Amino acid sequence: RAFLYRLWKGNVSSRMLNPRLQKAMRDYVAANKHGVRFRGPREARRSRAELLCELRRRGRVRTLDGTEAPFSALGWRPLVPAVPLGQLHPRGLRSCAVVMSAGAILNSSLGQEIDSHDAVLRFNSAPTRGYEKDVGNKTTVRIINSQILTNPSHHFIDSSLYKDVILVAWDPAPYSANLNLWYKKPDYNLFTPYIQHRQKNPTQPFYILHPKFIWQLWDIIQENTKEKIQPNPPSSGFIGILIMMSMCKEVHVYEYIPSIRQTELCHYHELYYDAACTLGAYHPLLYEKLLVQRLNTGTQADLHRKGKVVLPGFRALRC
C-alpha cells in the first residue's frame, strides 16, 4: 500500500515498480517501435495552471477529416461525419464522467454518481450490463482501439456496445505522423472496417483520431516528466480524458488514479490479473497518471474513496 499512498501524493518513480515492469519499460525504450525522436525539454516545472493551458493549446482533439493525403484521394471527405467531434455539442456539456475499466471500480457503488453526469465516456469492450451498480449504464462516447475493429472476437459489427454512442477509434501511427506510412502499415488495419461501418451506419458519429493529436499528448507527458517515458502512445484512458476536457466544462475521472480498492485485477469485467494494466508496460501509464494527479482539483477524500479526479474542461480555463 505504500506505493498507493505515494501515488496519491504524486511522489513515485518507475524504480518503485516491480522488476518485471521495470524490465518491460526498458525493453520498450530500447525497441522504440514507433520511431520516436523527442527533441523537446524534459521536466519543465510547470504549475497546474500553466500545465492546463499548455494542454488546451496543444492537446486539442483532432480527427481525420479526409482532406489530407492519402485519405483525400481515397474519397474520405464525404465518408467522415459532416459534423466534427468538437461541434457535436456546440454549447458544450456541463459535467462529464470518464470511467476507467480498472478492476478497482468493483464494489465502488459509483454507478448512480456516474450516470448523473451529462455525458459518460467508456473504453473498448467495457460493458455496463451486470455492473450497473458500480459503473452506471449511461454511455455517450466510446473510445475503441484498432484491435476492437479488427479482432472478430469483439463482434464490432453487431455488438450493442458500439451502437447508439459516439465512436472514436485510434491506432498507433509512426511518431512522424506520416499518414501515407500509417495507411500502408497500421498496427491493426482499422481503415477497412471503418469505411464499411460508415457506409452501413452513416448517421452514427464515428471518428478516427489524428496521429498528430496522439503524439502531441505524448510530447506533453514527456516534457513534464523527469524520467524517459516509454516511446509508445498514451493509453486510451489519457486520450479519453483529453477528449472530455475538450467537450465538457468539468470532467470527473473514475479509477484512473487507483482508489483504496486498488487491485491487480486488470478489468472489472474480466478475470485476468496483471499490475501492468494499472501501472503500465507498453503505455507510459504511470507518467500519465502522475500528470493527471498534478491537475486534480477534487478532494483527497474523493481520490482515496472513489478513485476520482476532477479536472476543469478547456472552456472553463482562463489562459
Report which residue's Cβ sits closest to ligand C5P.
237
Contact 108, 255 (CB under 8 A): yes
Rounded least distance, CB 101 to ligand C5P, Å: 4
Q: Give residues in contact with ligand C5P (CB under 6 A).
A: 100-103, 123-124, 235-237, 256, 266-267, 277-278
Rounded least distance, CB 145 to ligand C5P, Å: 7
Residue 313, classed as helix, strand or coil, is: coil
Rounded least distance, CB 235 to ligand C5P, Å: 3
Q: Which is nearer to ligand C5P, 71 or 267 (CB)?
A: 267
Backbone angles phi and psi of 28, in degrees to 5: -70, -40
9's grid cell: 501524493
306's grid cell: 472513489
Integer Cα distance of 318 and 296 in angstroms: 17
Q: Which is nearer to ligand C5P, 52 or 266 (CB)?
A: 266
Integer Cα distance of 95 and 116 in angstroms: 9
Q: Which is nearer to ligand C5P, 71 or 254 (CB)?
A: 254
Q: Which is nearer to ligand C5P, 14 or 235 (CB)?
A: 235
Q: Which is nearer to ligand C5P, 103 or 172 (CB)?
A: 103
175's grid cell: 511518431
Q: Which is nearer to ligand C5P, 81 or 103 (CB)?
A: 103
Integer Cα distance of 1 and 9 in angstroms: 13
Rounded least distance, CB 217 to ligand C5P, Å: 12
Residues pairing with 142 in the sheet: 122, 167
Q: Looking at 42-92, which runs of residues are DSSP E strands?
A: none
Rounded least distance, CB 42 to ligand C5P, Å: 22
Rounded least distance, CB 308 to ligand C5P, Å: 13
Between helix 48-58 and helix 236-247 the angle, nearest 10°, is 90
